[in-house]
Amino acid sequence: MPNNSHISFELFPSKAHLDNGKLYQAIDEIKPHAPKYVSVTFGAGGSESYANSLTLIRYLRQQHIDVVPHITCFHLDKQAIFSLLQEYIKLGIDRLVVVRGDLPQDIQKQTKVSFNYAYQLIDYIRQISGEQFDITIAAYPEFYPGSKTLQEDIDNLKQKINAGANHAITQYFYSIDAFYHFLQMCHDHQITIPITAGVMPIANYQGLKRFSQICHADIPQWLDKRLAAYQHDPVALQDFASDVVAKLCDDLIDLGVHGLHFYTLNQMSATNAVIAKSSKLQSILTQQKNQRNQQAPELASITQLASR
């Protein structure tokens, strides 16, 4: 029986002199998986980061990989975003991830901030492009750190959906219960858009701790203690961590999750270790490979976008 879930991956642009080829090695390892798409994040370096993102996006499209770029609220004005959408259409891109993004460190010097919140940016994209792009937003099973109450968290999510978002990808988590109850909450509040689960494979204990503090993601105590015990034994850590994340993925698939989105951090070793331990993930990837020959939907022309 076919599984309706899909698998996708996330990459971020990196400067060549700092990367040592890791990014392109990751792409080489992703390509055989025939991902549903690869999302490309946008860093905190202003227009330079968008230039780096475009370089990566163009390369992925040359490799015949479907790309979903991130767009954030800061650094680009409305005209720059309009031009960026035109470039994406040229590249055959019809889906975006729209997030607020991190506040620039030099926010007082910023003169190009046209949007303060993701829903405002979503509304603008819909105004100028209609339904040309599917718009994916961020969702938080363990709640957005900036929300003071549960109701505020729900209201923020619904505000983005009402502005025109039609998919969501979650922050990563390690508790299937957190995701299950999040889905229940969405159902109770008539939130019906497809929700893809964000998955963070574990490659390094201290790195995960730092990243989780930045993202306000919870590491359950039982997992934290076990990872800490293995942190000086990389082989044992990867074996244990890949077991944990593979089991989480299997549980999500059994739950009927719309998709699984792997935050690779530009290194595929931990992700591949998880895939190797899950026959359910392997089955989905096999289905995706068999579907790659399907023709992509026809995209609007640049002229059509400009006339809206």
State the catalytic residues.
10
Joined tokens for residue 221:
């105590």
Pairing of β 38-40 and β 67-72: parallel
- Convert the chain into a string of H (helix), E (strand) and C (coil): CCCCCEEEEEECCCCHHHHCCHHHHHHHHHHHHCCCCEEECCCCCCHHHHHHHHHHHHHHHHCCCCEEEEEECCCCCHHHHHHHHHHHHHCCCCEEEEECCCCCCCHHHCCCCCCCCHHHHHHHHHHHHCCCCEEEEEECCCCCCCCCCHHHHHHHHHHHHHHCCCEEEECCCCCHHHHHHHHHHHHHCCCCCCEEEEECCCCCHHHHHHHHHHHCCCCCHHHHHHHHHHCCCHHHHHHHHHHHHHHHHHHHHHCCCCEEEEECCCCCHHHHHHHHCCHHHHHHHHHHHHHCCCCCCCCCCHHHHHHC
With b for 16 or more beta-carbon neighbours within 10 A and e for fewer, the 102-139 pattern comes to: eebeeeeeeeeeebeebbbbbbbbbeebeebbebbbbb
Joined tokens for residue 120:
């405002």
